[in-house]
Structures are given as structure tokens and as C-alpha cells.
Amino acid sequence: MTRIAHLEPYLSAAELKERYRSATNPHEARRWHLLWLIALSKTIKEAAAVLGINYDYARAIVKSYNQQGETAIHLKKQPPKKRPTHALLNTIQLEELRLSLAGESDDRGLWTGPKVALWMPKKSGENKSANKGVGNT
């Protein structure tokens, strides 16, 4: 017979259900749902199957919850990613591209990957030739 998972008594089943229903983030909602199902005497394996998540991931959520309480369920804010130093376009060029994509392409059709690929060297080439002219004066 499969063992029922143990949950530390931080929150009751009713409180877990309320956290699940009021969660605005879908990832957090899924974690609260998992804990609620386990509080209703489901096994981790059964609850994971209901939610369509990996058993090991579900087990890790239960373990984190038992160790840290509800703070383990909330998503930690990730620091914003920095642009790589080897990026093909600088910040100004990226903004130009964003504005260009909001309008029509040069041929008045829809933007496609190849059209963007043709657009990029035109803009990066313009900046390089402008920089060469400044240095020679």
C-alpha cells in the first residue's frame, strides 16, 4: 500500500484550498493545488498525476513546503537578465527594430525572420560607417 505524504501543519486543507484558488501566478497555483490534494489524503504520485506534473518535482515541492512553509511555494523574483556582450544589436538598434516590427516591412508585407535578418546588417552597418566617419575627422 502506498504511503500518504506527510505535510507539516503550517496551513489547514481549507487554507491550502484558498491559497490555490486565490493564486494569481499559475505556477504557484499548481503548487498550492498539489499541497491541497495531498492534504486531502492523496499520495504525491496521485496528486502529481492529477496535475500532470513530474513525480520528482511534486516530491520536491512537498519537501520544500515541509522545510520552509509557505515561503517555499512563492516564486522568487529572478534578477533581470543582462544583455550578452556579444549581442548582434545594441540597445538603440533593438529599439529601432521593435519600432520597425510594429509597422510594415519594406515590401509592405508581414515581418518574417528572413526580413529581420536582412534588416539587421543594414542598421548595424549604418552605425559602423557613421562611427568610421567620426574618427577620421
CB 58 within 8 A of CB 44: yes
Q: Is residue 109 part of a domain?
A: yes
The Cα 56–Cα 110 span in angstroms is 44
User: Is residue 137 a part of any domain in this protein?
Assistant: no
Q: What's the CA gap between 97 and 23, in Å, rounded?
A: 36
**Is 35 in the same domain as 64?**
yes
Whole-prediction pTM: 0.58
Q: How confident is the model at residue 100 (pLDDT cuts 50, 70, 90)?
A: confident
| Per-residue pLDDT at 128 exceeds 60 | no
Residue 11 DSSP code: S
For residue 80, being part of any structural domain is answered with no
Residue 8 included in any domain: no
* Nearest residue to 29 (alpha-carbon basis) of 68, 63, 61, 69: 61
Query: What is the span of the domain harbouring residue 35?
Result: 13-72
Whether 32 maps to a domain, the answer reads yes
For the four alpha carbons of 40, 43, 10 and 58, in that order, the dihedral sign comes to: negative
Q: Domain ends where: 39, 72, 105?
A: 72
What is the average per-residue pLDDT within 80-89? 76
Q: Which position has the higher pLDDT, 63 or 89?
A: 63
d(C-alpha 131, C-alpha 126), whole Å: 9
> Quick check: is 112 in a domain?
yes
Query: Residue 1: its pLDDT value, please?
Result: 60
57 and 22 inside one domain: yes
Task: Check the CA dihedral 106-108-111-112 and report its sign.
Answer: negative
* 34 within 8 A of 58, measured Cβ to Cβ: yes
Quote the number of domains for the chain: 2
Q: What is the pLDDT of residue 84?
A: 74
Report if residue 49 sits inside a domain.
yes
